[in-house]
Amino acid sequence: MKAEVARDKLLSNFEVLQHINDIKRRQKQSSASRHRSALKTENLETILLELHTYLGEKAHSAAAKQNPADIKTFMQEISVYDLEKAEKLQIINIAPTSLVTLYCLIEEYEQRFTEEQGNHMLELIQKYLHPAPPPPTAGA
């Protein structure tokens, strides 16, 4: 299924995390902006905290370990495959570690790519996108 209306810009989790960190940095530097309403500031702080918790280092997400240079190199190397922008974005955000997950992210994977191509994509993901380790199991 393809989107009928294209968005102006799609953001990766890494870009959202960078933006949140920039906002937090500006807030610390600018104490004069504290004159806003308490409710508005509280809501913003809640959103920033929850997003940072979800995407940040403690969440063990791939976004927390990625950097612009690696993402750029990944995009250059993955361009040999005919992937849609949304598929590339999902790959960057999720950083899959298995072919099964890759199948889920790429539309009609079986018709478009071979297993060898999928394995090559996984190698590029491992090399440049720094996938997060799987969460610990309850019994471990």
Same domain, yes or no: 75 and 114: yes
Same domain, yes or no: 52 and 77: no
CB 89 within 8 A of CB 12: yes
User: Phi, psi (5° rounding) for residue 134?
Assistant: -65, 145
Range of the domain at 22: 13-26+37-62
> Does pLDDT of 22 surpass 90?
no
For residue 52, being part of any structural domain is answered with: yes
Mean pLDDT in residue range 14-19: 88
Alpha carbon distance 69, 120 (integer Å) = 20
> Does pLDDT of 1 surpass 50?
no
Mean pLDDT in residue range 82-108: 93
The 10s digit of each residue's pLDDT in 23-49 is 888 877 775 555 555 556 777 788 888
For the chain, how many structural domains are there in total?
A: 2
Q: Which CATH number goes with the domain that contains 102?
A: 1.20.1250.40
To which H or E segment does residue 92 belong? helix 85-94
Same domain, yes or no: 77 and 58: no
Same domain, yes or no: 21 and 52: yes
CB 33 within 8 A of CB 27: yes
The 10s digit of each residue's pLDDT in 54-69 is 887 666 778 888 899 9
